[in-house]
Amino acid sequence: MSDKDKPQKNTEETTPNPTFDYDAIVIGTGPGGEGAAMGLAKTGKSVAVVERHSAVGGGCTHWGTIPSKALRQSVSQLIHFNTNPLFSESGREKHFTFPQILKHAEGVIRQQTRLRAGFYDRNRVQLIKGEASFVDKHTLCITYPDGSTQNITAQTIVIATGSRPYRPTDVDFTSGRVYDSDTILSLKHDPRSIIIYGAGVIGSEYASIFRGLGVKVDLINTRERLLSFLDNEVSDALSYHLTNSGTVIRNGEEYESIKASNDGVILHTKSGKRFKADCLLFANGRTGNTDKLNLSAIGLKADGRGQVKVDENYRTAIDNIYAVGDVIGYPSLASAAYDQGRIAANYIVSGEVQSKLIADIPTGIYTIPEISSVGKTEQELTAAKIPYEVGKAQFKHLARAQIANSTIGGLKLLFHPDTKEILGIHCFGTAASEIVHIGQAIMQQQGPANTVEYFVNTTFNYPTMAEAYRVAALNGLNRLF
């Protein structure tokens, strides 16, 4: 790589630092890296971001959140078409292959990449394409795609390298039959059957996607129930609807061996069961992307899952090095990662905490049907001996749901019987991840403003899905005595 192709510090509208090339370098351009870079650049800091892939956006844009949700949207529309009497009078169902519906996802990825690249350009953030590793606490060695290297320095460095699917050493991912949640996007054939090992969020979402395409699905769950962090009633509803769609769920199972052959893959469980399918998706855990950072050069150590420990300000054990996003573990959400990056940037600039991550982070799970929740579950409130009442609304009773032929699921409100304070919101069905934010806004209010009575006293558009809040609130209040 010639000198003119290597990054040159842009000092326009920034304060030059005579000691370092940049005020800050961010490693990674996913949501966490973007939040940190934008937060720092907006204050006039000279900032560079290092991205090892050909385009910005990180795993969220290219392999995780965006493609899987785009796939899910296409499959949801296909299911709606095939089950709506208005379109299915001929009795012939439409069928699309997995590679065909991937085309929609590819279009969304391109749009998101262009959009996010524009953010860095407009804010004069230097984008460096290469692999970063530490030389010392202020110096990074950048290895460019052509193999050449260059050292760059900064006062502050933010690690936002994200995570990747966990790959056990005894599973052969090179056979063309075994995939992880990244490589599944390169699936070229149209499988008739698939084994999904791991029934967490990713596994459950892909089970919905493949089953919606008419693929036979065996979902192997290493736990005793699906998504056990959810409210039990919602978890049970998901199990019912996956099973009702034809997915076979095997709870409490662990693999003994996974063997691929020319005509498929066979999974043996420790309990003695055998499963065979055209291919297998291994979706059981993720690992932080820290193995190539040379953390030992700065005296920093990742744990067994490749994650870095940070304090409440996202600073690591090294005073000028911060970490945000999946690389620090929980909650491992794109939405939270962006906020972590922004909060870390605020602290780097001001040296004090101006904001912090909210306590009740909403969860969105894009299965079919969709799931979203915020706050406490019934089992958590019971374990904590906090009294609560329940208000429910079933979507099948809402005019808007009937009009849209989206009557599966409903909304559940948990609230304190004395103060009427909202303690938890759980939604299952169409647009759940959108609907939950209405209740979240009220939950975040302080004092009397946060009560379930708000939903009774306000006026909702009619017909809407949001009207479920009024129905659920009245249902719950009518239970009080």
Q: Is 52 annotated as a binding residue?
A: yes
355 Cβ neighbours under 8 A, 6+ residues apart: 342, 343, 346
Q: Give residues with Cβ within 8 angstroms of 127, minimum separation 6.
A: 29, 48, 49, 51, 56, 117, 120
Burial of residue 262 (number of CB atoms within 10 Å: 0-12, 13-18, 19+): exposed
List for the chain the helix, strand, coil content (%; round to 5). 35, 25, 45
279 has binding-site annotation: no
Residue 279, beta-bridge partner list: 194
Contacts of residue 312, defined as CB under 8 A and 6 or more positions apart, other chains included, come to 353, 356
To the question of whether residue 55 is assigned a binding role by annotation, the answer is yes
The angle that helices 98-122 and 31-41 make with each other, rounded to 10 degrees, is 20
162 is in an annotated binding site: no
Burial of residue 481 (CB within 10 Å: 0-12, 13-18, 19+) is exposed
**Joined tokens for residue 261:** 């052959």
Q: Is 124 annotated as a binding residue?
A: no
C-alpha angle 129/131/136, rounded to 5°? 120
Residue 56 marked ligand-binding: yes
| 59 is annotated as contributing to ligand binding | yes
Whose CA is closest to 182, among 67, 72, 76?
Answer: 67
Query: Does 58 carry a binding-site annotation?
Result: yes
Residues of each annotated binding site for FAD: 51-60
Residues of each annotated binding site: 51-60
